[in-house]
Amino acid sequence: MSEPNGDGSLRGFHKAYLRGLGQRLPARVHVGKKGIIDSLEREVDQWLLREELVKISFNASAKNNPLPEDLARRTGAAVAGTVGKTALLYRPHPEPERRVIRLPERD
């Protein structure tokens, strides 16, 4: 099993793998015009703890939008990708034996 970079960022092939997994996921959290509020941050944190990978829908394009990166920073996650108005955040479970997603090794 491969791990993200030591600084918490993801390698390119990890992002590609996670984006593949994320295609099947529904958006679990919707960020509206209020932006990132404390209750939304807690909700994302809980989804990440349960599922490690969460798709988030924004009311504006996620590309060139600082909100996905800000939300990732605030929850200790990494942005695996953005498409249109959605972003995919990943954070491995803090207990390795409870991890749901196993990142692939480099080919």
Question: pLDDT exceeding 70 applies to what percent of the chain?
Answer: 89
pLDDT at residue 88, rounded to an integer: 96
Q: CA 61: distance to chain centroid?
A: 16
Q: CB neighbours of 26 closer than 8 A, spacing ≥ 6?
A: 55
Interval 33-51: pLDDT, tens: 888 888 999 999 999 999 9
Residue 101: pLDDT band (50, 70, 90) is very high
Band of residue 22 on the pLDDT scale cut at 50, 70, 90: very high
pTM above 0.85, yes or no: yes
Is residue 77 within 8 A of residue 70, CB to CB? The reply is: no
The pLDDT score that the predictor gives to residue 6 is 46
pLDDT digits (tens, 9 = 90+) for 2-11: 555 545 678 9
Domains (range + CATH), the chain: 12-98 (3.30.110.60)
Structure-token pair, residue 19: 């984006």
